[in-house]
Chain A
Amino acid sequence: NAGVTQTPKFQVLKTGQSMTLQCAQDMNHEYMSWYRQDPGMGLRLIHYSVGAGITDQGEVPNGYNVSRSTTEDFPLRLLSAAPSQTSVYFCASSYSRTSVGTQYFGPGTRLLVL
C-alpha cells in the first residue's frame, strides 16, 4: 500500500491564482481530512469527509473547497489564493469516523502564495 499520497510537494502561487491540492489513499478509509500547519499553531482542520459524497467544514474552511466523489480521492481547492494561505497542508485518513483519532498522514504540500 502507498498509504496517503499528496501532490504536489511544493507549489508557488501568485495572489488570486487558483489550484488544487491532490490527496489519495489506497486503504479504503472512510474518513479523510485536510489540515493546515502554521508555526506555533499546530494543525488546524480545514475540511473533512466521512464518506464519498459527504463533506463538512472544519475550524478554518474559508477560502477552500473540497469534494469527495470517490472513496480514494479528496482534493482541496484554493479558489483565489491569498498570502494568508501560505502554509503546509496535510491530508489524512482514518478507517472510519469512529476511529478519527488514529489518522494516517500524507507527506504534506508546502504552499507559498506571493
Chain B
Amino acid sequence: AQSVTQLGSHVSVSEGALVLLRCNYSSSVPPYLFWYVQYPNQGLQLLLKYTTGATLVKGINGFEAEFKKSETSFHLTKPSAHMSDAAEYFCAVTTASGSARQLTFGSGTQLTVLP
C-alpha cells in the first residue's frame, strides 16, 4: 500500500519569497513521486517527477523537488514566488512494481501568493 501526506492545506507567501510545499510518502517498495498543479477550474498538469537517478529534479515554471529516502519526503520548492504560481498543488506516488500501478494523491496544498 502507498500513501501521501501533504503538510499544510493552505500556504501563503509573499511575491518574491521562497515557496516550500511539503510532501511525505509511505511505500513498501521504491516509489515514483510526482507533483501536479491545478489552476482554478482546470484539470491537473504534471509539474515534475522523480523515478530513478538524480534525487533533485527540476520541473516547469522554476519549481524543483528533492527525493530524500531517509526522510520519506519529496518537498516542492521555488526560490521566488510569482503571482501566477497561485494554484493548488498535489503530491502523488506510485510504484515501479506490480501490475496495477495506481497513482495515489495527497489531499492538496492551496498556495496563495500575496502582493
| Co-complex (A, B) | yes
Q: Which A residues form the contact surface with B (CB < 8 A)?
A: 4, 33, 35, 40-45, 48, 50, 56, 58, 90, 92, 97-98, 100-103, 105-108
- For the complex with contacts A43-B105, A100-B101, A101-B101, 15 further pairs of A-B residues with Cβ separation under 8 Å are A35-B105, A40-B9, A41-B107, A42-B90, A42-B105, A42-B107, A97-B100, A97-B101, A100-B102, A101-B94, A102-B49, A103-B44, A103-B103, A105-B44, A108-B42
What's the minimum C-beta distance from A65 to chain B, rounded to whole angstroms? 19
Please tell me if the beta carbons of B45 and A101 are within 8 angstroms of each other in the complex. no
- Place the interface of chain B in its size category: 20 to 34
Give the residues in chain A near B106, CB-CB below 8 Å: 42
Chain A residues within an 8 Å CB radius of B100: 48, 50, 56, 97
* Residues 38 to 95 of chain B near chain A (Cβ within 8 Å): 41-46, 49, 51, 90, 92, 94
A108–B44 Cα distance when bound, in Å, is 9
- CB closest residue in chain A, given B101: A100
Say yes or no: B99 contacts A106, CB within 8 Å: no
Q: Which residues of A contact B104 (CB under 8 A)?
A: 45
B56 to chain A, nearest CB (A): 18
Q: Which residues of A contact B94 (CB under 8 A)?
A: 100-101
In the complex, what residues of A have CB within 8 A of residue B34's CB? 101-102
